[in-house]
Structure 1
Amino acid sequence: MESIPPSYSPSASPSYTPSPPSPSYSTALLPGEQTVEETRWTGSQTHNIGVFRRITDNITLVLRDQQPGSIKPSYGRNALIRGHISLRSSEGLTDVTLMLEGQIRTETSGTTLTTTIVSTSYSLWNSSSTEPCPKTLPFMTFFPSTFVESGQSRPLPPSFENKSERATCSYTLSVIVSRPRRFLSSFRSSDALVVPIRYHPRSRAHTPMLPSDAPFLTTVKTSPEEWRQVLCTMNTTQRSGLAPVQCLLFIPSVQIYALSETIPFHLQLRGPPSSLAPFLDKTSGEISIRVYLLRQVIVKAFDDPKTASRRILGEAKLTYCSPLPENHYSYRNHPLREGNDCLDWDGELRCAEDDTVASFATQTLTVRDYIVLSLDPLEPMKCPLLATKCSHPIRLVTDSWSDRVMTW
């Protein structure tokens, strides 16, 4: 049965009285008041107010929200691309298009491969419009954060250029203005303005690490979960008859570090005094002990991965620690066996170069980072210990851990 709504009469509506104005409000506390909880503003840390301009004879491109004085436009993850295009003349045009493109270019074995990861066009005006083309065309769009690779969505890699020029990831923003040819109306001619841009997505660790100035022996007892132990063995020559030396490198357990961050570590060498003697006695030659950050660039062509380059980002200076008490086994997985001893060093790692590109991986181009421990006798013919090298994978990110929400 269909219900019939009641009849409506304007006179039946209640009278309306305007609400009183809201009371004034101030964040300043009155006497006797206290803040129970506070939510801070979660906007970006810096507000870019600069403007980038690229001017040619016929086209002017203006990009907003840039750092003042920047020579290349820069955008982060899901960043807003906004600005306008100014045309010297808008007569006789067929269309005006804005195009964002990204490419990975790799070179291996004399073969250069180019992979397109972004190709998006935005029509700002075309001849099908009923309105004539204006001389100024504003635009606003978002920078994509992902691309499709082998049918899967992956994070868009940052702008990257290998110094050997064998591998690059680059992005461009283009303005294409088309018009019919003067004598062949079925063909079009076009003017293009191409601007290289920088894609710089921010990233950070999911948990903080201990301060770099926190003493290792103190924190490893109170917070052992904060340290990751990396093990390797330094073997000896067969004729020496010495036992191998166990190498223990302790690094912050998060294993994700900011490019600008100082990474503390602790190195311990264990073994019988006779095996450790070459580190103290110089008669068999010195042993080089190095701990450094290594960046590896890998390119892949035709399912054949090859290392394009290796580069040291920063190297530590080790400080020898005073001998530990014999009963101090708090940070060892197993107590030292009878007759064994240990040598200890502290150190800090930090990127020496002003590198701003974090680790990333695609099928054709991968940038990996490692903490490397290297022990190398300078006179191998005299030393009873054999050289060893241990590479532990880590991830370098753009920002340190923070408990505040950030705009990426």
Structure 2
Amino acid sequence: MSLPPPSYESFDVLIPDYSFEPRAGEERLEYQRARQPPVQGEDVRPTGVFVNQKDGVTVVLNYQQDKSTTPVFGRRSNVEGTLLIDAPESVSKITIKLTGSIETVSPSTGLTLVNVLDQTHTLFDSGDDMAPQSDCSSSLTFSYPLPGTFKHNDQEYLLPPSYYVLLGGQGQTYYAKCTYTFSAMISKTRSRRTAFLGKNKKYNTFVFEFLPRLRPPRPVLKRSLLSTIKECPEEWRQISYQLIPRSKKSNLEPLTCQVFLFDLLDSEPSTNNYPAHQFFLPSIGVFGIRDSIPFHIQIIGSHIDSLAKLRTITDNNIYENSGPLFRVHFLRQVEINSNGNKSAVHFPLGEAKLLPVPPLEGAISLSGQVQQEQRQENINWEGVICCGLEEKLAPSFNAGIVVITDFIILELSKSSMSLFQPFKHGHAVRLVSDS
């Protein structure tokens, strides 16, 4: 039974008048171009082909970038194309294999090889290996879907992307890699006189890349914490830590460090009576590999003299070449797990530059207000951090035997280690292929 649409004529409330562009007295706070969905029936895949020819066997793969030297497939892709055979008359069987494996070498785990993809498809079979003639066509089309997952040690994981990383640590070199191959095997019958030599087989094998694409659920804010905290405090996460003076002779009080980021971990703020330092990061926790991630750091103290001394130290020319009080940087961890043995290596992805911000009226709160109940002196920095590596970087993933995790690290700079007790905290983030 269909009902007529409801009538809103009885309402006295006027519908707001919206405009696409800001009018006089208005400003655009944030703008992100919408991702247009493909038109129904429209194919948005690349229109080029990849061609590989060997031993009279030609493989043509569809939906590739023009002039590509290696075919590329994404999540839920079909490996499809055409197989061309120069002499199909004596062909008895054609098989296509899609394989993938993770290979790792480390001092504690040794050499480990795990298959993540193993598909065999029969494209043609005459059923008679000794038949002098074959009805095999010279051109055969195929289409085989790639799986989304694989199993290892009774656990299911997403199919990992193609990657290769050479790791060196403590005088030892080891690596982790994931490779995928396409192989076409053509079996041909021999004459009865040479049948004792076995089947005549030809192969066309090459590597292809598996690059699953993923975007963050929403884009990263392009503005600082102070310019967005009132309009959208939910976009930030606040994490608090303690800075404990190394010696009482320094005349510094315990301080609070507040960090403001896009939401990352369930880090509990400090609950003791020490003042804190705060770290603010974007709350989303998932970023594109090329994204610039904003952050804000605030140090809070109740004693004016203590903060003034610290400010003098950080601004002093003696420390000019040593940088600010903190260091913020990207760190990647590659962990290899095999038979209960674990080995992890860390290497840097990028370094942030901290810019000083004038003192505020008090401690920052994600309620959108500056806390003024108790006068708290503060020192502030803001900045952005991004991956600084120029070569192609694989996104974060967990494949069981190999786990790649990325961290934003906040720690004391070398010039500050004489003032405070050791301080280093990591915040796990997920890097994905697209922004």
Residue in 2 aligned with 1:47?
Answer: 45
Q: How far 1:88 moved relative to its partner?
A: 2.5
Residue in 1 aligned with 2:352?
Answer: 316
Residue in 2 aligned with 1:341?
Answer: 377
Q: Which amino acid aligns with 1:201?
A: P
Residue in 1 aligned with 2:119?
Answer: 120
**Residues 126-183 of structure 1 deviation map (CA, whole Å, 9 limit, x = unaligned):** 2317962222222112122111233343211111111336000111111112245774
**Residues 342-398 of structure 1 deviation map (CA, whole Å, 9 limit, x = unaligned):** 111111122223445221102100111111112123375xx3223422110011112
| Corresponding residue SS for 2:229 | helix
Change (3 A) 1:59 1:226: same
Tell me whether 1:173 sits opposite 2:173 in the alignment.
Answer: no
Instruction: Choose which of 201, 207, 217 in structure 1 pairs with 2:226.
Output: 217
Q: How far 1:326 moved relative to its partner?
A: 4.5
Residue in 1 aligned with 2:280?
Answer: 250
TM-score between both structures, scaled by the size of structure 2: 0.74
Q: How far 1:330 moved relative to its partner?
A: 6.3
Change (3 A) 1:389 1:336: farther
Change (3 A) 1:259 1:46: farther
2: CA distance between counterparts of 1:312 and 1:349?
12
8 Å CA contact retained: 2:224, 2:295? no
Residue in 1 aligned with 2:211?
Answer: 200
Change (3 A) 1:42 1:343: farther
8 Å CA contact retained: 1:108, 1:301? no
2: CA distance between counterparts of 1:97 and 1:207?
44
**Residues 226-274 of structure 1 deviation map (CA, whole Å, 9 limit, x = unaligned):** 1011333333213436333322211110111111222111111223442
Q: Which amino acid aligns with 1:269?
A: I
1: CA distance between counterparts of 2:157 and 2:146?
15
| Corresponding residue SS for 1:353 | coil
Residue in 2 aligned with 1:376?
Answer: 413
Q: Which amino acid aligns with 2:215?
A: R
**Residues 61-113 of structure 1 deviation map (CA, whole Å, 9 limit, x = unaligned):** 11111011211100011112211112222243331111100100011117211
8 Å CA contact retained: 1:106, 1:299? yes
| Corresponding residue SS for 1:221 | coil
| Corresponding residue SS for 1:260 | coil
Q: Which amino acid aligns with 2:427?
A: H
Which residues in structure 2 correspond to 1:290-329 (within 5 Å)?
290-307=327-344, 309-326=345-362
2: CA distance between counterparts of 1:135 and 1:89?
7
Which residues in structure 2 correspond to 1:31-42 (within 5 Å)?
41=39
Q: Which amino acid aligns with 1:114?
A: L
8 Å CA contact retained: 1:358, 1:397? yes
Instruction: Choose which of 219, 229, 239 in structure 1 pairs with 2:238.
Output: 229
Residue in 1 aligned with 2:33?
Answer: none
8 Å CA contact retained: 2:105, 2:176? yes
8 Å CA contact retained: 1:376, 1:388? no
| Corresponding residue SS for 1:162 | strand
Provide structure 2 residue ranges, at least 5 long, that are not aligned to the other structure.
1-35, 168-173, 258-277
Instruction: Choose which of 159, 184, 201 in structure 2 pairs with 1:190.
Output: 201
Residue in 1 aligned with 2:10?
Answer: none
Change (3 A) 1:267 1:331: farther
Residue in 2 aligned with 1:77?
Answer: 75
Provide structure 1 residue ranges, at least 5 long, that are not aligned to the other structure.
1-37, 401-408
Residue in 1 aligned with 2:7?
Answer: none
Q: How far 1:313 moved relative to its partner?
A: 2.1
Instruction: Choose which of 390, 395, 402 in structure 2 pairs with 1:365.
Output: 402
Q: How far 1:288 moved relative to its partner?
A: 5.2
Residue in 1 aligned with 2:5?
Answer: none
2: CA distance between counterparts of 1:156 and 1:327?
45
Compare 175-184 and 261-270 and name the one that shifted more.
175-184
Q: Which amino acid aligns with 2:116?
A: I
| Corresponding residue SS for 1:104 | strand
Residue in 1 aligned with 2:298?
Answer: 268
Compare 85-94 and 252-261 and name the one that shifted more.
85-94
| Corresponding residue SS for 1:378 | helix
TM-score between both structures, scaled by the size of structure 1: 0.78
| Corresponding residue SS for 2:348 | strand
2: CA distance between counterparts of 1:47 and 1:330?
43
Q: Which amino acid aligns with 1:87?
A: I
8 Å CA contact retained: 1:177, 1:191? yes
2: CA distance between counterparts of 1:280 and 1:258?
34
8 Å CA contact retained: 2:55, 2:204? no
| Corresponding residue SS for 1:225 | helix
Change (3 A) 1:242 1:178: same
* Fraction of identical pairs, as percent: 28
8 Å CA contact retained: 2:230, 2:368? no
8 Å CA contact retained: 2:75, 2:213? yes
2: CA distance between counterparts of 1:161 and 1:290?
29
**Residues 302-348 of structure 1 deviation map (CA, whole Å, 9 limit, x = unaligned):** 212211x3232222222111121258766699947867421111111
Give the total of aligned pairs.
358
2: CA distance between counterparts of 1:257 and 1:328?
25
Q: Which amino acid aligns with 1:279?
A: T
1: CA distance between counterparts of 2:218 and 2:197?
61
Change (3 A) 1:74 1:40: closer
Q: Which amino acid aligns with 2:295?
A: F
